Chains A and B, each alone.
Chain A
Amino acid sequence: MGLALIAGFSTANANQDGLGPKITLPENSEGKSCLFPSEQMRREHPDMLKHDRIQTLREGVRAQADGKVLDGSLKQCVNCHAIKDASNKFVRIDNEQHFCASCHKYAAVSIDCFQCHRDIPEGSGDFHALTNHKDVNYSNVAPGTYSLTTEDMANIAPEVISDDN
């Protein structure tokens, strides 16, 4: 049901003609696309997510090749699509401005993802002390440039712990 609805207005640019949902897109997303063209993303993202969750969790496949590193888990989606409000804070899923909510509220399709998954980037850029993401430059993770570079991945890799104690 929800899918059919979304597909119905998939060609509409966000609220162009005053009909349909006003989808909030992240800053600097002009002219960029997600993994696939918007029409396809709108229609097929539930299948993609379902596919990815099986690959990521059950099979342990953490990234796609094709020269780019893409974490197949929902966190990558959230990290790219997070929306900030006027006070420069990330908006939560219960806010109509949230990327997912902006359409799902309109289409009355409730999603359970964020009962468990984070709806905004972790630490909003700062990661907690036990992870080694601190030096990763996430600023290039904008829509259309969804991949982390090899350099970023090297930064994510663990620091070498000395074994000479």
Chain B
Amino acid sequence: MTINNENKNNGETASSAESSINLEASRRNFIFGSVAAAGLTVAPGMMLYQTANARSLSDFSLKDGASSKVRWGMLVNTTKEVDWNKCVEACNKEHGLGNEKDSRDDQKTQYIRVVDVKNKGTGYSMSLPVMCQHCENAPCVDVCPTGASMKRADGIVLVDRHRCIGCRYCMMACPYKARSFVHEVLTDQTENTPRGKGCVESCNMCVSRIDNGQEPACVEASEGAIIFGDLNDPETPIAKILAKHGGKQIRADLKLNPGVHYQGI
């Protein structure tokens, strides 16, 4: 470990720039390698399961950090009969949410919520889970006065609570209502999701799980209805499905290019 002073620390992508291409390739593959090997075929509406490979340190180095060669994304298949509340539960459990004692229900933190929509004309109704869409051109990052709301090199948008001053500008800027503000002192946070009073927070795509070679908690709980992967690598299942069958982004007209795609909306 080296100790840098604050000036040196400003080069935020310095370490990812140094990372070697080989390592990046294996970083992309380690999650999906065995899926490709199993020759999984996919069609619309089919079960979209994927396998997470056990990672060995030799093919994935934690020291290289997030790389801009990767763009993590998710694909939600809303045509599947899934209880989306399971995803919400898994998310709450993973991040230790719901430990507010004094907040009103509408003040409590939500990283992912289930939205029910109904066409009044035809009576058709459906539900979809909505979390932070991890926009490429994220308005929440644009407006943040402190640089707390940030996009990691691999496309994950998250709040650096060390810098957040709780102004909530980002909450107003987000068109997806994805962010929450913590109104009270919290105790017993989870190890991987430190969170506390006075900061804004939102879905971070389970960044510590991803860095650990795991899928996000909602993906794991979704029984295959949400798949996760690198949108930049045409060989990943998510990129293949999107290339073949397409997907939709919510409010694509805003041209924010979210990393979360949907089928069946």
Contact B191 A75 (CB under 8 A): yes
Query: Closest chain B residue to A115 by CB distance?
Result: B196
Query: Closest chain B residue to A60 by CB distance?
Result: B66
CB < 8 Å A-B pair total: 143
A153 to B60, CA, bound (A): 11
Q: Which of B14, B49, B162 has the most CB of A within 10 A?
A: B162
**Complex interface: chain A residues within 8 A of B85 (CB):** none
Contact A116 B93 (CB under 8 A): no
Of B74-82, B170-178, B208-216, the segment with at least 4 beta carbons within 8 Å of chain A is B208-216
Contact A157:B54 (CB < 8 A) given known A51-B3, A60-B207, A122-B191 = yes
Q: Does B65 contact A (CB under 8 A)?
A: yes
Q: Does B40 contact A (CB under 8 A)?
A: yes
A75 to B2, CA, bound (A): 19
Contact A50:B6 (CB < 8 A) given known A115-B185, A154-B56, A163-B40 = yes
* Contact code string A126-157 (vs B, CB < 8 Å = 1, else 0): 01111110000000000000000010011011
**Complex interface: chain A residues within 8 A of B122 (CB):** none
A55 to B188, CA, bound (A): 24
Contact B93 A69 (CB under 8 A): no
Contact A163 B49 (CB under 8 A): yes
Contact A116 B194 (CB under 8 A): yes
**Complex interface: chain A residues within 8 A of B6 (CB):** 50
Chain B interface mostly: loop
* Contact code string B68-99 (vs A, CB < 8 Å = 1, else 0): 00000000000000000000001001100000
Contact A158 B190 (CB under 8 A): no
* Contact code string B167-202 (vs A, CB < 8 Å = 1, else 0): 000000000000000000110111110111101000
Contact B56 A60 (CB under 8 A): no
**Complex interface: chain B residues within 8 A of A122 (CB):** 190-191
Contact B15 A132 (CB under 8 A): no
Contact A160:B51 (CB < 8 A) given known A129-B93, A130-B94 = yes
A159 to B220, CA, bound (A): 12
Q: Which of A55, A116, A165 contacts B15 (CB 8 A)?
A: A55
Contact A54:B12 (CB < 8 A) given known A117-B194, A130-B93, A165-B47 = yes
Q: Does A42 contact B (CB under 8 A)?
A: no
Q: Does B118 contact A (CB under 8 A)?
A: no
Contact B52 A61 (CB under 8 A): no
Contact A69 B212 (CB under 8 A): no
**Complex interface: chain A residues within 8 A of B4 (CB):** 47, 51
Contact B12 A58 (CB under 8 A): yes
Contact A154 B54 (CB under 8 A): yes
Contact A128:B190 (CB < 8 A) given known A59-B66, A61-B63 = yes
Query: Besides the contacts A162-B49, A163-B40, what 14 more A-B pairs have beta carbons closer than 8 Å?
Result: A59-B12, A59-B65, A60-B154, A60-B211, A61-B64, A64-B1, A64-B63, A65-B61, A117-B189, A128-B190, A129-B93, A153-B57, A158-B215, A165-B224
Give B residues with C-beta under 8 Å from A.
1-6, 9, 12-16, 34-35, 38, 40, 47, 49-57, 61-66, 90, 93-94, 150, 152-154, 158, 160-162, 185-186, 188-192, 194-197, 199, 207, 211-215, 217, 220, 224
Q: A-B pairs with the 10 shortest C-beta distances? A: A60-B66, A63-B62, A116-B196, A122-B191, A116-B194, A61-B65, A62-B62, A163-B49, A115-B196, A59-B65
